[in-house]
Amino acid sequence: MTGSEKLVLSRGDITEATTDAIVNAANQGLVGGGGVDGAIHRAGGPEIMAECDRIRAEKGGCPTGTAVVTTAGRLRARVVIHTAGPRWKGGAKGEAEDLASCYRACMELAREGGHRSVAFPSISTGIYGYPVEEAAEIALSTVAGHLERHPDAFDEARFVLFSEADLEVYKRALDRLKEGSPDSA
């Protein structure tokens, strides 16, 4: 898949990412929480929650599979894109579609905002319990598909994995995606 050339995998803390946009694995209420959500609000400061409060008041929140944009506060990124991933319930409750929808919605908002680089965490694979092998495949193929459809819009889509084990899973999934690409034949 040609879009996969712009995919970058790294290990670390997404709050330190220097991409134009960073994605938050949030919840439908945009009320904050643990995991990456807690880290982003802590590092970015109260301005981010103030905008989440406004969005909640206006639209009721962020339904699963959708995304909203706020300031990045003190973070180096220009914006935070918050998305609510699906909770894993065994796989037959539309989780894969919802997870793909999160990545698509984030890429669309990034593109609409003119953000040429975006950093993602591994949405739903922490507190929400989505198996990381399956999530990695969906994450990478969905983002690569968007990059392919919009070849001039982005310089980079980065995945910042918190653990070495998750990074390895994403690396293997990216290898498989590239092997499946007609361009690599």
Q: Which residues bind ligand AR6 (CB under 6 A)?
A: 13-15, 25-27, 32-37, 39, 85, 121-128, 160, 162, 166
The smaller minimum CB distance to ligand AR6, of residues 1 and 128, is found at 128
List, in sequence order, every residue forming a beta bridge with 157; answer none if it has no partner.
7, 118
DSSP three-state, residue 70: strand
Q: What is the CA radius of gyration of the chain?
A: 15
Instruction: Pick the closer one to ligand AR6 by CB: 2 or 18.
Output: 18
Q: How far is the CB of 115 from ligand AR6 (least distance, A)?
A: 18
Structure-token match 């959500």, residue found: 37
Contact 10, 101 (CB under 8 A): no
Helix residue ranges, H only, the chain: 35-44, 46-59, 95-112, 132-149, 164-179
Active site residue 37: yes
Amino acid identity, position 112: E
Measured CA to CA, the distance from residue 96 to residue 85 in angstroms comes to 10
**Minimum distance of ligand AR6 from residue 165's CB (angstroms):** 10
Smallest separation, CB 12 to ligand AR6 (Å): 7
Strand order in the sheet with 21-26: 7-11, 156-161, 117-120, 21-26, 79-84, 67-71
Catalytic residue among 13, 20, 37, 166: 37
Q: How far is the CB of 2 from ligand AR6 (least distance, A)?
A: 27
Whose Cβ is closer to ligand AR6: residue 75's or residue 109's? 75
Cite the active site residues. Answer: 37
